[in-house]
Amino acid sequence: MGAPLLHESWVAGVEKFVALGTICCYPKFTPVPFREENLWDGYPEETNAPYGMAKKMLLVQSQAYRQQYGFNSIFLMPVNLYGPGDNFDPASSHVIPALIKKCVDAKRNGDDHIVVWGDGSPTREFLYVEDAAEGILFAAERYNASEPVNLGSAFEISIKDLVEKIARLTEFEGKIVWDTTKPNGQPRRKLDTRRAKERFGFKAGTTFEDGLKKAIEWYLSYGR
């Protein structure tokens, strides 16, 4: 979808195009913290490699259109986002909304346990949705180059610690059962966020606990 959108934006004379990539663009085994210059050092983690590769092709297209046509397109790579209004559908949600739903629903239903994929050892970094919006806005206003830029919080947490934190914040006191037949995914994810700070002055301002509380409050009020 992104390829024709970028092309038609150039055809239509759009002044600037902001392409959003993903942390899944990075190789499975990337030195931590992930630096933009490591993007092409290997193949992405297998469970989301097709998605990551498709996004990386947008970077190639963005750079090619700048070089050939002088088209002002930029490429940002946000880490996993979370916050109010997230997708809480258990069939398609990402880790934070999935865990919030599991804990809240288990507490409501009086269940004595929840089941979580993997063994809890992988680490992840998350960016609060309003911080992400601010970062995208700053880049749109201030950044005009083809080098990819990470958007993140520079805060890393293990899945085990994440589950325990969400259980505490939702007041779920049951047992956490790890389903180790399910994949862990990429072993670690943590971004080097210096380029975003240097190039367009972005630094995440929401603490992880505050962001989680807002996401939980939203689900308690509006979630199903």
Which positions are annotated as active-site residues?
Answer: 51
H or E segment to which residue 166 belongs: helix 159-170
**Identity of the residue numbered 32:** V
Cα-only R_g, the chain = 19
Could you tell me if 126 and 80 are in contact, meaning their C-beta atoms sit under 8 angstroms apart? yes
Q: Compute CA distances 16 → 1, 20, 54, 74, 134, whole Å.
A: 18, 13, 21, 8, 17
Sheet holding 156-158, edge to edge: 80-82, 123-128, 156-158
Segment (H or E) for 124: strand 123-128
- One DSSP character per residue, 174-219 reads SEEEEETTS---SS---B--HHHHHHH-----S-HHHHHHHHHHHH
Q: Going by C-beta distance under 8 Å and a sequence separation of 6 or more, which residues neighbour residue 15?
A: 72
Amino acid at 183: P
